[in-house]
């Protein structure tokens, strides 16, 4: 495990536990040797990212990491422009709204605004998904021509994330072509079995991001066109601001 992975695994262990941990508990939760954890924790204590909470020498993160993340997030080159439009889209559709960007063969979620309904699609910023099985992935592949998509896809194994995932290069390109015709791209249980999603590519800061609306199949199945229109309206407003 690389040093960066080790440090991140410490914070992920706190996230999973949801409580202060002793050094030995932390090492076990992070799957690290106690000696390795001790060295990382000592540095984090010295830098003010972790503090001791009790006589038992429990450890817990301070707010420093959170406050740093808030400051970084305020300067995000994409989300600053998109935030009000994403909030309006969530309100209009009552479903979860996601912003994603291509990262090699995958999509990384930059932001997730979960829908207000009790049963909804849940995800987190930083989640990584396969490019070929997501609506955002299809939307971002659509900016390439078919030959470029084929050149990307053919050397790879397009794994079946669910039984509904498109794993053939030809069927994936046909699906993307249909999406180009209507202006938006759809997954029907291809990434998560009972979730439908609709996405569009949007030009932002001389780059392209994908914005998707995702929700449970029983609500989304009859609303694909309606959600698609809401996304296209959102795209028009965002891109008009940049003219």
User: Half-sphere exposure of 124 toward its Cβ, with a 13 Å CA cutoff?
Assistant: 3
pLDDT at 76 over 80: no
Mean pLDDT of the 25-39 span:
92
- When pLDDT is cut at 50, 70 and 90, the band that residue 78 belongs to is confident
* Domain boundaries for CATH 1.10.10.10 within the chain: 3-67
Q: How many whole angstroms separate alpha carbon 171 and alpha carbon 125?
A: 29
pLDDT of residue 243: 55
Backbone φ and ψ for 115, nearest 5 degrees, come out as -65, 160
* Domain boundaries for CATH 3.30.450.40 within the chain: 76-241
Q: What CATH class does 3-67 carry?
A: mainly alpha
The larger pLDDT score, comparing residue 239 to residue 26, is at 26
- When pLDDT is cut at 50, 70 and 90, the band that residue 215 belongs to is very high
- What is the enclosing helix (H) or strand (E) of 52? strand 50-52
Strand segments, DSSP code E, in 71-184 are 96-103, 106-113, 128-130
- When pLDDT is cut at 50, 70 and 90, the band that residue 106 belongs to is very high
pLDDT of residue 71: 82
Per residue in 107-159, pLDDT tens? 999 999 999 999 999 999 889 999 999 999 999 999 999 999 999 999 999 99
Mean pLDDT of the 73-85 span:
80
Q: The whole model's pTM is what? A: 0.79
Mean pLDDT of the 55-77 span:
83
Nearest to 139 by CA among 86, 175, 91: 175
Least-confidence region, from 34-38, 96-100, 237-241: 237-241
Beta-carbon contacts of 67 under 8 Å, excluding residues fewer than 6 positions away, are: none
Beta-carbon contacts of 221 under 8 Å, excluding residues fewer than 6 positions away, are: 188, 196
The larger pLDDT score, comparing residue 42 to residue 242, is at 42
pLDDT of residue 83: 87
Buried b (16+ CB within 10 A) or exposed e, 127-140: eebbbbbbbbbbbb
Q: How many whole angstroms separate alpha carbon 133 and alpha carbon 111?
A: 19
Q: What is the mean pLDDT of the chain?
A: 92
Residue 216: strand, helix, or coil: strand
- Cβ atoms of residues 212 and 199 within 8 Å: yes
CATH hierarchy code of domain 76-241? 3.30.450.40
8-state DSSP, 177: H
């Amino acid at each position: 495990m690389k040093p960066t992975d080790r440090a991140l695994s410490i914070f992920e262990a706190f996230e999973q536990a949801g409580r202060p941990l002793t050094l030995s508990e932390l090492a076990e939760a992070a799957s690290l040797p106690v000696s390795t954890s001790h060295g990382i924790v000592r540095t984090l204590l010295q830098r003010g990212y972790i503090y001791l909470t009790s006589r038992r020498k429990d450890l817990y993160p301070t707010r420093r990491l959170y406050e740093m993340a808030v400051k970084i997030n305020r300067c995000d080159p994409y989300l600053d422009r998109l935030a009000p439009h994403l909030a309006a889209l969530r309100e209009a559709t009552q479903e979860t709204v996601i912003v994603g960007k291509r990262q090699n063969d995958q999509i990384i979620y930059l932001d997730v605004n979960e829908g207000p309904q009790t049963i909804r699609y849940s995800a987190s910023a930083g989640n990584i998904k396969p490019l070929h099985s997501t609506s955002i992935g299809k939307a971002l592949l659509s900016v390439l021509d078919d030959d470029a998509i084929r050149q990307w896809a053919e050397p790879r194994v397009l794994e079946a994330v669910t039984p509904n995932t498109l794993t053939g290069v030809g069927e994936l390109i046909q699906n993307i072509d249909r999406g180009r015709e209507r202006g938006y791209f759809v997954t029907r249980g291809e990434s998560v079995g009972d979730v439908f999603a609709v996405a569009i590519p949007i030009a932002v800061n001389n780059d392209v991001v994908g914005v998707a609306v995702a929700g449970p199949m029983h609500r989304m199945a009859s609303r694909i066109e309606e959600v698609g229109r809401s996304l296209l309206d959102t795209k028009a407003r965002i891109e008009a601001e940049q003219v």
